Chain A
Amino acid sequence: MTLKKIVKQVGALGVACGMALGAMSAQAEDTIKVGVLHSLSGTMAISETTLKDTMLMLIEEQNKKGGLLGKQLEPVVVDPASNWPLFAERTRELLEQHGVDAIFGCWTSVSRKSVLPVVEELNGILFYPVQYEGEESSRNVFYTGAAPNQQAIPAVDYLKDELGIERWVLAGTDYVYPRTTNRILEAYLKANGVAEEDIMINYTPFGHADWQNIVAEIKRFGSAGKKTAVVSTINGDANVPFYRELGNQGVSAEDIPVVAFSVGEEELSGIDTAPLVGHMAAWNYFMSEETPENEAFIKAWHDYIGDTKRVTNDPMEAHYIGFNMWVKAVEAAGTTDTDKVIDAMVGVEVPNLTGGTSTMLPNHHITKPVLIGEIQDDGQFLTVSSTEELVPGDAWSDYLEGSKDLISDWTAPISCGNYNTQTKSCVGTTAE
C-alpha cells in the first residue's frame, strides 16, 4: 500500500466521518434536548429512579402530541449516582456536551446546592421538584416543590388549631433541609407562644436504624399531660425503622401523632402500614385525590410503567407541573433560548393534579394547595385538611431573623433573588 493510497483512504474516512457528524448535528437540531439528572444508583436511587421514569413518560406523551415547536423532544438521561460532586459534573456535561435546553433533576438539597453554580455559570434552566428548606433563590432554578410555607407551616397550624397540640417534637435527619426547616418551625412556634421546654429537637444520622431510645424519649416527652405531636423531617430510609419502632412501642396516632414531610406513597409502599394508620403527612398532592386530571395521570403512569401497583407521589406531580410549564413557556417564547424562556416562565399557568391551577411566580416558586393526609392501611392518604386557596411559595421565610425582609423577584425592575425590602437593595451573593 503506497503512502498516497493511505492518505486517500484516511481522507475518505475523514470525509465520511465529517458527513456522519454533519448528519448527526443536523439531526440534533431537529430535536429539543431535555436533561434528566436523577440518581439511578446509590442511596438516592430509591426515590429518584421514579422521577426519571416520570420525565421519560412526560416527554414521550409530549412527543405523541407532536413535540414542541414542531420538533421532537429528546431526553438525555445521566446518572449522578447519589454522589453530590458528580451532580455538578453531570450538569456540566448536560449543558456543555449535550446542549440541553432544560434540566429536570436533583432530590436532596445538597445535590441542588452542588448543581447551582454550574447552571448559573452556563446559564441553564433547572426544575427542582422536591420540597425544600427555602432560603435560596436563583434565576436559573424553578422550584416546583414546596417551600416551607407551603408544607411545614400549614401542617403545624393544623396540629395547633385542629388537634390542640401544645408540645412539639421536631425530629429530623441531620442535614440542611431538616435543620433549616426546624429552625423556621422553632421560630414560628415561639412566635405563637410555645415555651422553650415544650419543644424537643432531635437529629439523627442518615439511615439511622436503632430508634428504640428516641421513641422511648418521645413517649416520655409526650407523657407530661399536654397533647404532643412529632413533626418529622426524617429522610428516606430511616423512616421505616422509625415507624416500625413507633408501632412496636405502641405509640398510636391518637396519642402522639406524627406528621411527616418526607414520607409519601412511595416510601409507604415499602412498609407494612397497619401500625401507622392515622399518622399524617403534609404534601401538595396525594395519589388518592379524586380529580379527572389525577385519574388520567395515574392511568398514564400505570400504562407507561406496566405495573398497576406502582404509586404516584408529590415530586412526580411537581415534575408534571414543571414540565407542562416549561412546554408552555417555550411555546410562548417561540424559542428554547434560556433567557427568553426564563422571562416567559413567570406567570405561566397550568392545571395541577388536585383540581386547581398552579402559577409560576416572579420568585420562581409556584402556587400549590397544601393538603394534610392521614395514612390508611392500604398505604394511601385520607385528606383531612386542605387549604381553600392555593398558597404561593415563599423563598425567604418570614420567621427567620436574617431573611424576613428579603424577597425574591426575577422580573424587572427588581430582578434579584434576595431583595431587601427595608433597604431597597439587592443583597447579591452575600446572602446565605
Chain B
Amino acid sequence: MIPICRLTPRHAVQQWLTRLLLLCLCSLPLHTSAQEAPEATPAQPTFDELVRQLPSGNLRQRATTVEQLASQQDERLADILAALIVGDLLANKDKPPVVAIRNGDTLTDALNGSDLTGTSGLRRIPVNNSLRTQLRGMVAQLNLSHPDSDKRYAAVQRFIRDGVDGETAALLRQHQPSEESGRVNDAIDAALALFDLQTGDRDQRMAAIDTLSGSLEQEARNALRSVAENDEDATLRAAGAKAIESIQGRISFYRFIENVFFGLSLGSILLLAAIGLAITFGVMGVINMAHGELIMIGAYTTWGIQVLFPDLIEWSLLIAIPAAFLITALVGIAIERGVIRFLYGRPLETLLATFGLSLVLQQAVRTLFSPLNRSVSSPEWISGTLSINPVLSITYTRLYILLFGLAVFFALMLVMKRTSLGLKVRAVSQNRAMARAVGVRSNWIDALTFGLGSGIAGVAGVALSQITNVGPNLGQAYIIDSFMVVVFGGVGNLWGTLVSAMSLGLINNFLEPWAGAMLAKVLVLIMLILFIQKKPKGLFPQKGRAAAD
C-alpha cells in the first residue's frame, strides 16, 4: 500500500525507492502463485457444474454462467440453451439441483438424459430479454450446421440482426460451400455483403451494394441508407441511393398489397358480424339490438368447448362451429317466440325490447361466468404468419377468418337460393299473406329464419374469439358496425352486405394510417351518413313490389 500524499522532491525519491522495493517483494510470491495455478484449477468449473449453477443467483450471474457454458464444447449444450430460451429448462431446489428439460409432457435429465417424467418440485429457470437475446445468438452459431434448413435460415437471420463481425463472417464463408438451400444461401450472401459493406475495399463494397439492392431485409436497407447519406466516395453514394430507390419501389408495392389484405381482413370480420343481421334485419325487418350478444354467446361456446375438452384444443374450433350455431340458433328461436313475435310491425318497441334483452344477456353472462374475460386459446395451425418476404407477411388467423367469412357467406347464399327453407323465407318476407295462402306456415318460418340469423351470429362469435376478448362486452363492440354494414349495403340484399363489408374494411384501412384510428372511424361514419342521405336504400336497393312497402 502506498499512501497518496503531496510529495516534496526528497520524499519523492524515498517513495520511489520504497515502491521499487515493494514491487520486488510483491513480484516474488506473485510469480510463484502463477506457476502453481495450472495444478489447482478450482476456478475452471466443469460443464456439469455450470449447468447445475444455472438455477442459482440472479439474472446477471446467470448471464455469466451461460457465457462460460458457451465456451465449452459439449454436445448437450444446444439442447440446454434452446430449452432455456423457451422456459423448458427446469430445476428443483436441491443442492446440487436436478436440472431437467421439458419436452411436451416428458421430462429428461439435462445432464445424463435419464427419464424424469412425473417428478414434482421442478420449477422453470427464469430468463429475461437480454439473456434471451444472448442465448439466441449462441444457439444461432450452433444451429448453422443444423440439418433443418429453417433452423439454418433463422440462424443466418439472427446473425444479420445482431450485426455480422469478422468471426461470424469467417464462419459463414466456411459454411457456404456446403449449403444446399437457396434461401439460406441468399441470406448468407446478404450477411456477407453487409460485412463487406463495412470493411471491404471499394470493389467489394460496390459488389456488396449490388447484392444488397436485391434484399428486402431492414438491415440491408439501413446499411445502404447510411452509405447513400454519409459515405465519402461519391460513386458509392450514388450506387447506394439507386439501390435504396429500387428497394423502396418494391416495398411500396408490397405495402399496398399488405394494406389491401388488411382491409379485406377487417372487411371479413365486419361481414361475419353483419351477415346474421342481414338475415334478421335485412330479410325479416326485425331491429335486433341483441345481435351482438348472440355473437358473444357463440364466442363463449368456443370457450366452453375448450374447457369441456381440454385435450382437443387443436380441434376445438371445428367442434365449436356447429355447437355455437345450434346453441345460438336455439337462443334466437327462444327470443323470437318469447319476445319478438308479439312485436311484429312495431319497430320501435322491438328495438327497445331487444335492447333490454341485450343488457339482460350481458348481465346474465357476467353473473354466470364472472365479469372477467375468458381465455380462449388458439390452436397451433391457426397461429403464426405466412412470411412471403421480409416486408410482407400475412397472419394465418386473418387469412383463415377471411376464408371462413366468405365460406359462411356463400353457404348462406346457397341456403337462401337453393333450399325450400330459403324459398319460403323469401316468400314470407316478400308477401306474407300470399305465402300463407299457398300453405307456408309463416309463424314457423319466422322462427326458423330468426334462428338461422342467430346461428350465423354464433358462428361469427367462434371466429371473433380468435382475435378479440371473450367477455360480456364482446357484443357491444360489433353491434353498431353490423348495422352500419347492413344499412350501407342495402337492407334485404345479401350481396350488398358482402360488398359493403369489404369496402368499409378497405376504406377504414386506407384512412387509418393517414388519419389515425379515432378519426378514421369518425370519417367513415360521416361518409356513411352523407351516402345514406343521397341513397337512403343503400348500395343495392331492393327492386320490385316487395320494396315498395
Nearest chain B CB to A206 CB, angstrom units: 9
> A216-B262, A250-B393 are known contacts. Are A202 and B469 too (CB-CB below 8 A)?
no
- Give bound CA distance, A190 to B25, whole Å: 56
- Give bound CA distance, A40 to B258, whole Å: 42
- A384 in contact with B385 (CB, 8 Å): no
**10 A–B pairs (Cβ distance < 8 Å), ordered by A:** A49-B370, A205-B521, A247-B383, A249-B395, A250-B384, A250-B393, A266-B372, A269-B372, A270-B372, A278-B128
- A46 in contact with B471 (CB, 8 Å): yes
Q: Which of A45, A202, A254, A376 contacts B126 (CB 8 A)?
A: A376
- Give bound CA distance, A140 to B524, whole Å: 44
Hey, which chain B residues are within 8 Å of A202, CB to CB? 516-517
Closest 9 CB pairs of A and B: A270-B373, A225-B222, A45-B371, A223-B218, A248-B395, A204-B517, A209-B468, A240-B469, A272-B377
- B469 in contact with A237 (CB, 8 Å): yes
Hey, which chain B residues are within 8 Å of A203, CB to CB? 516-518
Instruction: Decide if A374 is an interface residue (CB 8 Å cutoff).
Output: yes
Chain A residues numbered 239-256 whose CB sits less than 8 Å from any CB in chain B: 240-241, 244-245, 247-250, 253-255
Instruction: Decide if A210 is an interface residue (CB 8 Å cutoff).
Output: yes
- B129 in contact with A374 (CB, 8 Å): yes
- B378 in contact with A272 (CB, 8 Å): yes
A144-175 vs B, CB cutoff 8 Å, 1 = contact: the mask equals 00000000000000000011000000000010
- Give bound CA distance, A212 to B255, whole Å: 13
Hey, which chain A residues are within 8 Å of B542, CB to CB? none
- Give bound CA distance, A45 to B136, whole Å: 41
Q: Which of B87, B129, B269 contacts A210 (CB 8 A)?
A: B269
Chain A residues numbered 197-255 whose CB sits less than 8 Å from any CB in chain B: 202-205, 207-210, 212-214, 216-217, 223-225, 237, 240-241, 244-245, 247-250, 253-255
CB closest residue in chain A, given B396: A248
Instruction: Decide if A308 is an interface residue (CB 8 Å cutoff).
Output: no
CB closest residue in chain B, given A248: B395
Instruction: Decide if B449 is an interface residue (CB 8 Å cutoff).
Output: no
- Give bound CA distance, A49 to B384, whole Å: 34
- B372 in contact with A46 (CB, 8 Å): yes
Chain A residues numbered 40-91 whose CB sits less than 8 Å from any CB in chain B: 40-41, 43, 45-46, 49-50
Hey, which chain B residues are within 8 Å of A244, CB to CB? 397, 467
CB closest residue in chain B, given A162: B130
Q: Which of B129, B262, B468 contacts A240 (CB 8 A)?
A: B468
Instruction: Decide if B242 is an interface residue (CB 8 Å cutoff).
Output: no
Nearest chain A CB to B286 CB, angstrom units: 26
- A212 in contact with B468 (CB, 8 Å): no
Instruction: Decide if A257 is an interface residue (CB 8 Å cutoff).
Output: yes
Nearest chain A CB to B391 CB, angstrom units: 9
- Give bound CA distance, A204 to B513, whole Å: 12
CB closest residue in chain B, given A247: B383
Instruction: Decide if B18 is an interface residue (CB 8 Å cutoff).
Output: no
Hey, which chain B residues are within 8 Å of A225, CB to CB? 218-219, 222, 225-226
CB closest residue in chain A, given B372: A46
Q: Could you list which residues of chain B lie within 8 angstroms of chain A, going by C-beta atoms?
A: 59, 87, 124, 126, 128-130, 132-133, 136, 161, 218-219, 221-222, 225-226, 258-259, 262, 265-266, 269, 363, 366, 370-378, 383-385, 387, 393, 395-398, 467-473, 476-477, 509, 512-513, 516-518, 521
- Give bound CA distance, A204 to B393, whole Å: 23
- Give bound CA distance, A238 to B412, whole Å: 31
> A254-B129, A272-B378 are known contacts. Are A46 and B265 too (CB-CB below 8 A)?
no
- A213 in contact with B518 (CB, 8 Å): no
- A384 in contact with B222 (CB, 8 Å): no
- A257 in contact with B468 (CB, 8 Å): no
Q: Which of A241, A254, A270 contacts B374 (CB 8 A)?
A: A270
Hey, which chain A residues are within 8 Å of B375, CB to CB? 269-272
> A45-B371, A212-B262, A382-B126 are known contacts. Are A241 and B393 too (CB-CB below 8 A)?
no
- B129 in contact with A278 (CB, 8 Å): yes
- B517 in contact with A205 (CB, 8 Å): yes
Instruction: Decide if A120 is an interface residue (CB 8 Å cutoff).
Output: no
CB closest residue in chain A, given B88: A377
The count of residues in chain A whose C-beta lies closer than 8 Å to any C-beta of chain B is 53
Interface centre among A41, A207, A213, A378 (most CB of B within 10 A): A213
Hey, which chain A residues are within 8 Å of B518, CB to CB? 174, 203-205
- A207 in contact with B129 (CB, 8 Å): no
- Give bound CA distance, A158 to B165, whole Å: 28
Nearest chain A CB to B254 CB, angstrom units: 11
> A41-B366, A384-B59 are known contacts. Are A374 and B385 too (CB-CB below 8 A)?
no
- B262 in contact with A250 (CB, 8 Å): no
> A174-B518, A278-B132 are known contacts. Are A237 and B373 too (CB-CB below 8 A)?
yes
CB closest residue in chain A, given B362: A41
Nearest chain A CB to B387 CB, angstrom units: 8
Nearest chain B CB to A408 CB, angstrom units: 32
Nearest chain A CB to B184 CB, angstrom units: 19
Hey, which chain A residues are within 8 Å of B509, CB to CB? 213
- A209 in contact with B467 (CB, 8 Å): yes
CB closest residue in chain A, given B385: A250
Q: Which of A205, A213, A224, A270 contacts B262 (CB 8 A)?
A: A213
Nearest chain B CB to A413 CB, angstrom units: 46
> A213-B512, A225-B222, A250-B393 are known contacts. Are A46 and B371 too (CB-CB below 8 A)?
yes
Nearest chain A CB to B277 CB, angstrom units: 17
CB closest residue in chain A, given B510: A213
Hey, which chain B residues are within 8 Å of A248, CB to CB? 383-385, 395-398
- A240 in contact with B132 (CB, 8 Å): no
- Give bound CA distance, A237 to B219, whole Å: 35
Hey, which chain B residues are within 8 Å of A237, CB to CB? 373, 469, 471, 473
CB closest residue in chain A, given B377: A272
Instruction: Decide if A277 is an interface residue (CB 8 Å cutoff).
Output: yes
CB closest residue in chain A, given B477: A207
- Give bound CA distance, A43 to B476, whole Å: 10
- Give bound CA distance, A27 to B363, whole Å: 34
- B395 in contact with A212 (CB, 8 Å): yes
- A382 in contact with B471 (CB, 8 Å): no
Q: Which of A204, A214, A224 contacts B222 (CB 8 A)?
A: A224
- Give bound CA distance, A253 to B509, whole Å: 26
> A223-B218, A237-B373 are known contacts. Are A384 and B128 too (CB-CB below 8 A)?
yes
Hey, which chain B residues are within 8 Å of A240, CB to CB? 373, 468-469
Hey, which chain B residues are within 8 Å of A378, CB to CB? 124
> A204-B517, A207-B473, A269-B372 are known contacts. Are A45 and B366 too (CB-CB below 8 A)?
yes
CB closest residue in chain B, given A203: B518
- Give bound CA distance, A210 to B379, whole Å: 20
> A203-B517, A216-B258 are known contacts. Are A257 and B129 too (CB-CB below 8 A)?
yes
> A270-B374, A271-B375 are known contacts. Are A163 and B129 too (CB-CB below 8 A)?
yes
